[in-house]
Amino acid sequence: MYTLPLGIDFIYVKSNIMKLKHSQGCFNLLSNFYFMGLIQYIKDTITEMKHVSWPTQKQTTIFTALVIVISLLTAVYLGAFDFVFSKILEMAV
């Protein structure tokens, strides 16, 4: 039986349905209740990671280079517009 801070006891039944029972407000095993959920989450994550289709080293290298090139081109493009608009503002003022 696990008691939550609000005074609600969780009693596990064979059919995996929880019955709620009001208690005297004891605070025990709350961290253990969440810890079990954390362990299940980690197990599920490991299972899902086995289903992932990971890219090859060559694909990773190509995509990384592509991101760097596109980032540099975007920086040059925005820098050019910034330069042009700042010169226009200097002439206007």
Residue spans of alpha helices (H) in 1-93 = 30-49, 57-92
The per-residue pLDDT string of the chain (93 residues; one tens digit each, 9 = 90 and over) reads 545 555 555 554 444 444 444 444 444 455 566 677 888 889 999 999 999 998 999 999 999 999 999 999 999 999 999 999 999 999 988
CB 51 within 8 A of CB 44: no
Query: Do the domain assignments include residue 39?
Result: no
Q: Are residues 25 and 57 in the same domain?
A: no
Q: Are residues 21 and 58 in the same domain?
A: no
DSSP 8-state secondary structure symbol assigned to residue 23 = -
Q: Are residues 59 and 89 in the same domain?
A: yes
pLDDT at 23: 47
Q: Are residues 93 and 56 in the same domain?
A: yes
Based on the structure, what is the number of domains in the chain? 2
**Domain range holding 10?**
1-30
Query: Do the domain assignments include residue 38?
Result: no
Q: Name the residue with tokens 């280079």.
A: 65
Query: Do the domain assignments include residue 47?
Result: no
pLDDT at 25: 45
Query: Do the domain assignments include residue 1?
Result: yes
pLDDT at 30: 53
Query: Do the domain assignments include residue 35?
Result: no
pLDDT at 35: 72
Write the DSSP string, 47-60.
HHHTT--PPPHHHH
Query: Do the domain assignments include residue 2?
Result: yes
